[in-house]
Amino acid sequence: MRGILFVALIASCSDAQVATLVPPDGFDTTLVVKGGRVRTGDPIRFDDDGEPVTVLFYARSLEAMALEVGANDDLVLASDAEDSWPLPATERAARYDPASRAFVAVDDLVTLAAETAALRVPSAPCGKLERLGAARINPPTTNVLTMASIGATSMLTSVFPPRLIRVDDDGSRDLSLGFMTEPDASILVFDDGPTFLVVYLSSSATKTLRLATDGTITPLTSAPASPVRVDTTAHWPGDPSIYGRDTVGRTVMRLDPARGQWRVLQSFPMTDEAGCGNLATYQLFALDGAESGVVGFAHSPPFRFMDRSVGLPRPIVSGLDLPPPCQSAYGAFPSGAELVLYAIGANALGGIDLRMAWRESPNDPWKDDGFPADLYGITTRKKWVLGIDDQADDVALLTHSTLRPEQAPRICAHLGLAEVRLMAFDGEEGFVAIQDDPTTPMAVAHFRVRDE
């Protein structure tokens, strides 16, 4: 036993007991748990009616733990329908012993953890997604290849024929690159700080151009082409390089636009992709720096890659026994937390067997947990993390709270759209491409994210 904590009890006029309890050193916040209620305050007040009384001690303030006090000094608990967290765990607590009329330190930390976990409190507010406007692409297109946004302006590219399209809430217009485009060409667009970077790839030429939000285009580089197979591309703002993934050949490559040359950075092991079907549609490929990123392939663990990768590919997650997924997604949070989603396959109920690996910081071990939705295209900009919910076909806002870092990342809001296929986001505002099915014209919606 850790010993009996000194306490003086005084019977008030209402027969309630008033306890002056000396907390452990460094633990200045006190919560009293009794009969499903959690009360705050010092001195401690409770009815000595034989019902158990537990006092929890915390080193952090209520505000620092995102706990709210309501009427009568009661802690605000969550309703069944609310997004909620368990009451914070603690290793210092005491229980009232009616026989000795004293509080005795709690030694059974397993039981104590179960008791606090059963009490749910509202999770901290995390932000809100708002729709701002919508526009049709004219003339219509059924295939958007890439999409980028800066503020209230979005740039899109499409194929067959190759087009560069400027979109805002007032509508759309096609932009000229200043030269004749070839029928087999692909036009890529990326946000690059205050302007956009446009990359033109054809069988004969590789060109880059600077694109202002008003549609003004300035040529940058031009070089002969070295055609390669890439199905997904990525760009880090401020860096001239373009990175590409070849899903069939299972390689990651880097394009030097000034020379028009692609260079293989790393090859990844081949696996049997049978049994995944449509669940392998959205494979992970994203940069987390100017020379590094993450990539996924069907039936393979998601990997990290670097511009100067040496040796065998390095999986993102280590120390967990998770089967190779059909599809994966990766997100990094401003708090330092990371998550990796594993869409492993269909389960017996017809849904998706979905697991999440996450850790509080790059120095912490990975944990295995469940997750409510399969996401792809997870994007981190400024303090916000967004992804596309594959089941709802909608934009999802994710969060990991610095107030409760032990709690796993979660989805805390949706935009409220449907049939979202592509998203671009600059950290404050964004655009999505919407399409009912592959044969119908695409529309564009404008949104923003803000604090609640």
Over residues 123-158, the pLDDT tens digits come to 988 999 999 999 999 999 999 999 999 999 999 999
Token pair recorded at residue 406: 């032990």
Going along the chain from its start, the domains and CATH numbers come out as 4-122 (no CATH), 128-450 (2.130.10.10)
* CB distance 200 to 187 below 8 Å: yes
Q: What is the pLDDT of residue 285?
A: 96
Q: What is the mean pLDDT of residues 166-173?
A: 94
Give the model's confidence band at 16: pLDDT under 50 very low, under 70 low, under 90 confident, else very high. Answer: low
Give the model's confidence band at 20: pLDDT under 50 very low, under 70 low, under 90 confident, else very high. Answer: low
Q: Which of 45-59, 155-169, 273-287 has the highest mean pLDDT?
A: 155-169
Closest CA to 360 of 332, 380, 396: 332
15 pLDDT exceeds 60?
no
Q: What is the pLDDT of residue 50?
A: 74
23 pLDDT exceeds 90?
no
41 pLDDT exceeds 80?
no
The rounded mean pLDDT for the chain is 89
pLDDT per position as a tens digit, 417-428:
999 999 999 999
pLDDT per position as a tens digit, 264-286:
999 998 777 667 877 788 899 99
Q: What is the pLDDT of residue 1?
A: 41
pLDDT per position as a tens digit, 75-115:
999 987 678 999 999 988 988 887 777 788 898 888 898 98
* CB distance 148 to 432 below 8 Å: no
Report the share of the chain in percent with pLDDT over 70.
Answer: 93
Q: What is the pLDDT of residue 6?
A: 47
pLDDT per position as a tens digit, 181-233:
998 899 999 999 899 999 999 999 999 999 999 999 999 999 998 878 889 99
